[in-house]
Amino acid sequence: MPRASLQDLEAVIAIARRGSFRAAALDLGISTTALSNAIGKLEASLGVRLFNRTTRSVSLTDTGQLFVGQTGPALQDIKAAIDTARSRQATPSGTLRINAFAMAAREILSPLILEFLRRYPDVHIDLVTEGRLVDIVADGFDLGVRVADLVPSDMIAVSLGRPQRYAVVGAPSYFADHGKPLVPPDLINHRCIRARLPNGALFRWPFEKNGQPVQIDVDGPITLDEATLARAAALEGIGIGIFMEQDVLADIDAGRLVRVLEDWTPPFAGLCLYYPGRRNPSAAMKAFIGLARTWAADTKSGRPRGRRRGVHK
């Protein structure tokens, strides 16, 4: 009788979820060749094909769809049993998978993630950054980090403290040549660095003053989909850009970038750590959530966040 290991089942689910051997291999931390060989051996032992493969795409066969439909829930039950066992550990260990967009990852990397790793060296954190919104349960993540407004309603959310804010900036040389916008509609007459969202849409610059929101469709010489590239373009004087405040504060303080329309960019909902309401989270996950709550409380109160503060569980 053919036998499939737990790793084989996880491999099949990962490929079905990602629609790509390469992406699934990255998620699993193995090479594409090793993953392909493992699936080939599994299909040979089962005597059926689970995937249709071409040079451009991968899709489940009818048998593969049935196989995933039956093994997927069973695999979740097995993982839940493993989580239950791990929740009884005295020392947190294992892997935590966290999904966040890049700005959020930069915000929490040093004060939360790296501090957690110093406290719990037996835990490995797999941090994946991407702009698109994902279903963290379906995509195999333990935790997610997003702006509060984007957290799904069926998740448990932990506020991570301070609100966020946009900053509209340009290089001194740009404003010397073109002047400064005084109100958002003035941007129509300026060269702006346009931003493309993960879904392909162009980002409309949001403003608000006295409770009245305004969105501006800017125009300019370049469209980018990554904040660090946009910052580089702004520093070169190509045009005005909009960024998360913390990403350009150092540039503003150093005079490399000049802020405009500050009275039109009020704070908005901050970041949240979120996760599904599992009955038995692992010891590592409980410890991470506890540290996140402590960090958030310290941030709100203004207390210093030393490395040796206790963890609330």
Give me the CATH number covering residue 152: 3.40.190.10
Nearest to 242 by CA among 194, 278, 286, 185: 194
What pLDDT tens digit does each residue of the chain (313 aa) get?
456 688 888 889 889 888 889 888 888 888 899 999 999 999 888 889 999 988 778 899 999 999 989 888 888 788 777 766 766 666 898 899 999 988 888 888 988 999 999 999 999 999 998 877 888 888 889 999 988 888 888 899 998 877 889 999 999 999 999 999 999 999 999 999 999 887 788 999 999 999 889 999 999 999 998 889 999 999 999 999 999 898 899 999 999 999 999 999 998 878 899 998 866 788 899 999 999 999 888 776 665 444 443 333 3
Sheet containing 166-170, strands listed edge to edge, beginning at the edge strand earlier in sequence? 241-244, 166-170, 258-260
**CATH number reported for the structural domain that contains residue 227 in this entry:** 3.40.190.290
> Do both 75 and 194 map to the same domain?
no
Same domain? For 274 and 187 the reply is no
Asked if residue 67 belongs to a domain, the reply is yes
Tell me if 114 is assigned to some domain.
yes
Supply the DSSP symbol for 113.
I
49 and 71 together in one domain: yes
Do 195 and 67 share a structural domain?
A: no
Does 222 lie in the same domain as 197? Answer: yes
Asked if residue 142 belongs to a domain, the reply is yes
In a domain, 137, yes or no: yes
Cβ–Cβ < 8 Å for 290, 281: no
DSSP-derived letter for residue 192 is B
In sequence order, which residues have a C-beta less than 8 Å from that of residue 237 and are 6 or more positions away? 170, 171, 173, 174, 177
Instruction: Tally the domains of the chain.
Output: 3
* pLDDT tens, residue by residue, 30-56: 889 999 999 999 988 888 999 998 877
Same domain for 56 and 76: yes
Residues 147 and 282 in one domain: yes
Say whether both 133 and 279 belong to one domain: yes
The pTM of the full predicted model, rounded to 2 decimals, is 0.62
Assign residue 18 the CATH number of its domain: 1.10.10.10
- State whether 278 and 147 are in the same domain: yes
The Cα-based distances of 294 to 41, 53, 303 in angstroms read 48, 48, 10
End-to-end CA distance of the chain: 46
Domain co-membership, 239 together with 210 = yes
Domain boundary among 62, 86, 110: 86
Per the domain annotation, does 122 fall within a domain? yes
Residues 69 and 153 in one domain: no
Last residue of a domain, one of 69, 86, 103: 86
In a domain, 63, yes or no: yes
CA nearest neighbour of 236 among 252, 250, 257: 257
Q: Which domain holds residue 127?
A: 94-163+270-301
Specify the residue for token string 């593969």: 64
Structural domain contains residue 70: yes
Check residue 273 and give its pLDDT: 94
Q: What is the pLDDT of residues 126-155, one digit of tens each?
A: 999 887 788 888 888 999 998 888 888 889
Whether 313 maps to a domain, the answer reads: no
Residue at a domain's end among 65, 86, 107: 86
φ, ψ of residue 292 in degrees (nearest 5):
-65, -40
Largest CA distance in the chain: 77
Residues 275 and 159 occupy one common structural domain: yes
